[in-house]
Amino acid sequence: MLNGKKIAVVMPAYNAERTLHVTVSELPEIVDIRILVDDYSLDRTVEIARELGLLHFVHDRNYGYGRNQRTCYMEALAEGADVIIMVHPDYQYTPRLVTAMASMVAYGVYDVVLGSRIIGGQALRGGMPRYKYVFNRFLTAFENLFLGIKISEYHTGYRAFSREVLTQLPLLEDSDDFVFDNQMLAQCAYFGFRIGEVSCPTKYFPEASSINFRRSVKYGLGVLATSLQFAFAKWGIARFRIFDRDGRKLESGGSSYYARGA
């Protein structure tokens, strides 16, 4: 707990058996709730989550990264969390930054905090493929231009949110795929939430999850489309459900596609 706020870490997992234990071992003591959502893994991820005493949920099939995140956030809200930090269980990002990121939200400095691989030149030193780095820099520049804000990267999977952010954004309108990450940040900017960043080292290694070139291109096209939709919505040219205040939100949604504590 921090500043009277209950802290939750959520871990969207898929085939994370080799890295889950070390990820959980580095979570700080301030974490009150530890949740793992398994997106129909083919390995021992769920068994290890059970051994580690995690509150865990299992999708009845592979729905995708975006849907996995939504389940994570819904369950964290149901447990009464005030600050929710997403930590990938593939150990690409160090859980040791959870305290710093959670503090910035718990004390009202920011509504959203991102762990940036770009600040401090950490990305390439950590093994990020050069083509991914180039895509990252191009897409971030494009987004900063169209979203009218200035952050170092939009594509990190290390994020902290206030409860208010997760209950007010129309997240049920977003994609089930990887572009969910980008749509969510665009929504944060659109609805005026404060976004901060901390420098975060990253590690690329065989066990760490990473999308291939084809899916990276698909993600990039989705990012460009989201940025243009944001601009058109702001300019009053068009309306999109992901930027509609009356869009479907997590608290109004139901989830029947997973088993609790399976």
User: For 119, what's the count of Cα atoms within 13 Å in the CB-facing half-sphere?
Assistant: 15
Q: How far is 182 from 151, CA to CA, in rounded Å? A: 13
Please report the pLDDT score of residue 216 as a whole number. 83
Residue 1 domain-assigned? no
Residue 256 domain-assigned? no
Count the domains in the chain. Answer: 1
Residue 87 has pLDDT above 60, yes or no: yes
> Which has the closest alpha carbon to 106: 86, 75, 88, 84?
84
Residue 188: CB atoms within 10 A of its CB come to 22
Residue 136 domain-assigned? yes
Percentage, residues of the chain above pLDDT 90: 79
Tens of pLDDT, residue by residue over 42-76, are 999 999 999 999 999 999 999 999 999 999 999 99
When mean pLDDT is compared across 7-21, 99-113, 191-205, 231-245, the lowest value belongs to 191-205
- 53 dihedral zone (left: phi>0; alpha: psi -120 to 50; beta): left
Please name the residue that has the structure tokens 């291109």: 217
Residue 251 domain-assigned? no
Residue 254 domain-assigned? no
Residue 87 domain-assigned? yes
What is the pTM (predicted TM-score) of this model? 0.92
- Mean of pLDDT values over 208-225: 82
| CATH number where 148 lies | 3.90.550.10
Angle at the Cα of 189 from the Cα atoms of 240 and 105, rounded to 5 degrees: 135
Residue 160: domain span: 7-244
Q: How far is 64 from 67, CA to CA, in rounded Å? A: 6
Please report the pLDDT score of residue 89 as a whole number. 95
Sheet arrangement for strand 159-162: 195-199, 112-116, 159-162, 83-86, 7-13, 33-38, 55-59, 258-260
Q: Count Cβ atoms within 10 A of the Cβ of residue 260 and give its class: 0-12 exposed, 13-18 middle, 19 or more buried.
A: exposed
Please report the pLDDT score of residue 252 as a whole number. 44
User: Residue 94 gets which letter from DSSP?
Assistant: -
Q: How far is 108 from 18, CA to CA, in rounded Å? A: 36
Residue 50 domain-assigned? yes
Residue 210 domain-assigned? yes
The residue ranking higher by pLDDT, 123 or 27, is: 27
Q: Which amino acid is at 219?
A: Y
